[in-house]
A and B are shown apart, each in its own frame.
Chain A
Amino acid sequence: MDFSIFLIQLLNALQYGLLLYLVAMGLTLIFGIMGIINLAHGSFYMIGAYMAYALAPLAGGNFFITLVFGLVLAVILGYLLEWAFFSFLYEREHLQQVLMTYGLILVFEEIRSLLVGDDVHGVPIPALLSGSIPLGDVMTYPVYRLFVSGVCLLLALGLYFVFTRTRLGMMIRAGSVNREMVQSLGIDIQFLYRVVFAAGVALAVLAGMIAAPISSVYPGMGNQILIICFVVVVIGGIGSIRGAFFAALLIGLVDTFGKVWLPEASGVLVYVLMALILLWKPSGLFKAGG
């Protein structure tokens, strides 16, 4: 493989891994830290992608205004969902969590079908980011993919800072191990978790929105990413945001280069990786809360 092709694949791998991290980070908050097996998390990604398509006319076709619209809606959606459904699930068994969040997938897909139909749609890359930069003599790389990587990387750093350096982050981590004690210290954990949940939804929605111009928008896109996100969270160590970051990048690399070097096995490589890592470290690469 010549170097510029390798470089392009590497950038693709990073972009995919970083995007995956954004969705998986939301899942880490909701599944890893708040303890709810949220099968509907992929639906938030799907909703994001469809919002990038459906809200665009309202925003005058401006991609960035669409993003802002979508994020505001995502936070409202997350807040209401936690209040109406998820707040009842914290103390419940896993089976009940699975049943309810699976039910939500069906509801979201049905609503999507009613509102925008079942067709595959494309979302145009915003003009400002539609260019390419040259790599080597003949190859080019699309600016938009670099933009996606950049946004994800900035958010990853920001989240890491909030999580490890701020009191808000400390409260969230503390709440993951002992809710009662957090309340006893005067913190309204019900409200805190509602906000964290909304943030988790917003991350998945944002990922869906910025992925839409690359991946196009299609029914069932949420389920695909959901499974791979659970793989990320499990490999990284349930509840660890650092773990989710490295696991997402690892999966991005294995998946992208697997398709180049071992195309016959590309579908299964990620799961082989998961199996190997879990054999070596049964609770994932990093500890919860780290």
Chain B
Amino acid sequence: MQEAELIVDAREVHAWYGSSHILHGINFQIRRAETVGLLGRNGMGKSTLIRTLLGHVKQRDGHIGFFGQDMSRARPHAVARLGVAYVPEGRGVFPNLTVRENLIMAARPDAKGQHVWSYERIMDTFPRLSERVGNLGGQLSGGEQQMLSIGRALMTHPELVILDEATEGLAPLIVEDIWRVIGEIRQSGLATLIVDRNYHKVLSHSDQAVVMQKGQLVLQGEAAAVSSNPELAGYLGV
């Protein structure tokens, strides 16, 4: 496997919040155009792992590579600029900016200078948003905010989209819509890292899966293999 094929290359990653040691030596990779499902019960360190990779957790140790570059000590904006987009838990919509402003604020073209995910394409992908372009982010429903957060991520033309609990607290119909969009993102050739409570959905949308327990990866492999592993249910508490 060539280095350049690796989007994320984490080796022996540790992280701390104050004096609590949260991540205990994480090793994992994401390859180009690959979808990785990240599973585990609440409080097992999934969001911390994501925030550590992205540079938001300052107390960290180990090697973190993105696109073959050493980003172990990099600041978050530098990681994002390499082509990593983050749809955080809680959506991170700016409540005081309009829908349009949320989208265009940080938009940037892809490596070839093209706007493949143009404002118009986002509007086509999320018709509900197009009815609300002038509304403030804070006035949207949860589902609309989620679409906005995903649309905003796509407008930065990432190679990797990280979706943390993208369907949390949404109505079933909206959840279906979000999964449809995740499928579209996957098909367009972007790599994705998905965290979601519904592990069936995650596994059926993923190529690879990793399972976390107490800050460590306890299962790792092809999604189908992880899915049929008898230990999975125990790790997920189901």
| Interface residues, chain A, with chain B CB atoms under 8 Å away | 167, 170-171, 173-174, 176-178, 180-190, 287-290
Contacts and interface: CB of A to CB of B under 8 A. Distances in A.
- SS of A interface (majority): helix
Interface in B65-85: 75-78, 80-81, 85
Contact of A183 (B76, B95, B152): B76
A171 B104 CA distance: 10
A97 B95 CA distance: 26
Give the most central of B92, B95, B96, B101: most A CB within 10 Å. Answer: B96
A174 B105 CA distance: 9
Given A185-B106, A185-B152, A170 B54 contact: no
B90 to A, nearest CB: 10
B92 A181 contact: yes
A178 B92 contact: yes
A187 B152 CA distance: 13
A290 B101 CA distance: 13
Contact of A178 (B78, B80, B94): B94
* 3 A-B pairs with the lowest CB-CB distances in the bound complex, closest first: A185-B106, A289-B96, A186-B80
A176 B96 CA distance: 9
A184 B105 contact: no
B108 A174 contact: no
Contact of A184 (B88, B95, B101, B102): B88
B92 A186 contact: no
B81 A184 contact: no
Interface string B102-119: 101110100000000000
Contacts of B94: 173-174, 177-178, 181
B110 to A, nearest CB: 13
5 contacts: A174-B105, A187-B106, A188-B75, A188-B78, A288-B96
A174 B97 contact: yes
B77 A186 contact: yes
Contacts of A178: 92, 94
Contacts of B78: 188
A170 B80 contact: no
Given A183-B76, A185-B152, 18 more contacts: A167-B104, A170-B105, A171-B106, A174-B96, A176-B96, A177-B94, A177-B95, A177-B96, A181-B94, A182-B106, A183-B80, A184-B56, A184-B77, A185-B77, A185-B85, A186-B77, A188-B77, A188-B78
Nearest to A188: B77
Contacts of A187: 77, 106
Contacts of B75: 183, 188, 190
B52 interface: no
Given A167-B104, A170-B101, A171-B105, A184 B96 contact: no
B97 A170 contact: yes
Contacts of B88: 180-181, 184
Contact of B105 (A177, A180, A185, A287): A185
Contacts of B95: 177
B35 interface: no
A189 B94 CA distance: 15
Contact of B54 (A184, A287, A290): A184
Give the most central of B54, B76, B78, B92: most A CB within 10 Å. Answer: B76
A186 B92 CA distance: 14
A215 B88 CA distance: 52
Contacts of A184: 54, 56, 76-77, 80, 85-86, 88, 92
B156 interface: yes
Give the most central of B77, B108, B152: most A CB within 10 Å. Answer: B77
